[in-house]
Homo-oligomer: A and B are copies of this chain.
């Protein structure tokens, strides 16, 4: 069969829904413009990576014949029991309590390939095409792609400096109920700490409220809250907040997803979820088909890191490193944008991103003059803020004049030069 006569490739509906994720375009831009300073990439700072620590721990793991052979063998679908127990201890430390008070057992912990796989699994086991997931706007754009991929309807709830506007969430649920579609609402997605892209955390009061609202409206079926706490451990100032999950006394409504990618190493790619009991089997059934278990060696590595206390030491160093980079970047922005008072940005207390807002008229999308001139002429790249908004019927929610700026990857001089170039590109649009 020659090229000319090759038959048509017929993809599934799902494949069409998953097509054309913005991330691919963004990565291609990065590859094609290697001389740009990327403030776009969501990678971690390579200087924070635990090179010596991993070498030591892997040596330890692979020097004992029994543990070595165990680690190199298949694990189980939910993941290594030892690590799932360590995860509970870890969680107890983060919540400021003890394991016995958590109200969950290790068999409610599922280990995944990053927390991303956990997020996707939840979308898959909960959402049929046309089902509704409520998200704050803006939010993590890869999860918006996941929701598209399962054919869900995504409803954007505006946010402010305390995260998702719970009053507007309540209004929206009211409206959905009024039009008889409450039975299609399956999920509320919240990035609780230092949201990607906005850097904003959901306030403690709202954490309680979102749980209460989900329970109150769970009249036809359970409405779950999926808490994505990927950046939780990257806090550079202020007191840690209890998770949204901790406000769910019954442990039947909130799914907590976390990862060791940001705090330890994304190349090791271990994340986890803490699930309401009824979701454990569905998520494991799905994962049984998907890969019947993420890499077991990596789970044993994390287990050793946590058990030895060296993980916790490492996270402190990581936070110190990012704190100084954040401070340097914020200082550079203040300097470079001092003549542009119409531009403002969020001071993030953690995470990896600075969220910048331009005057309404200045669009930041891939096809905008600003994006094109930033990449081609000024050699600096950012993530257009509109990626963080779902395609939605309430168009007025979407802002097209924002940017996500990452201080994760670039060293301090790169951040300073990046701020200078970005200011020049923006100035060109404004003056």
Contact = CB atoms under 8 A, between A and B. Distances in A.
Contact of A282 (B19, B58, B120, B183): B19
Contacts of A288: 18, 21, 23-24, 142, 145
A127 B12 contact: yes
Given A24-B288, A55-B58, A149-B285, 11 more contacts: A1-B252, A6-B222, A7-B221, A11-B282, A15-B125, A19-B281, A21-B288, A47-B69, A146-B289, A267-B300, A297-B298
A278 B3 CA distance: 12
Contacts of A222: 6-10
B266 A73 contact: yes
B298 A125 contact: no
Q: 6 closest pairs, A vs B, by CB?
A: A10-B221, A55-B62, A267-B296, A15-B125, A7-B218, A269-B295
Interface stretch (A85-93, A111-119, A230-238, A384-392): A111-119
A279 to B, nearest CB: 7
Contact of A295 (B51, B183, B298): B298
Contacts of A15: 124-126, 282, 285-286
Nearest to A224: B9
A149 B59 contact: no
A297 B21 CA distance: 25
A281 B2 CA distance: 21
Contacts of A296: 266-267, 269
B13 A215 contact: no
Interface in A233-275: 250, 252-253, 261, 265-269
Interface residues of A, number: 97
A143 to B, nearest CB: 9
Contacts of A250: 1-3, 6
B113 A75 contact: no
Copies of the chain in the assembly: 2
A292 interface: yes
> Which of A6, A9, A21, A278 is most buried by chain B, counting CB atoms within 10 A of its CB?
A9
A265 B297 CA distance: 9
A72 interface: yes
Given A62-B51, A222-B9, A267-B296, A145 B289 contact: yes
A163 interface: no
A49 interface: yes
A279 B10 CA distance: 10
Contacts of A289: 18, 21, 120, 142, 145-146, 149
A67 to B, nearest CB: 10
B75 A267 contact: yes
A149 to B, nearest CB: 5
Interface in A62-89: 62-63, 65, 68-76
A117 B128 CA distance: 22
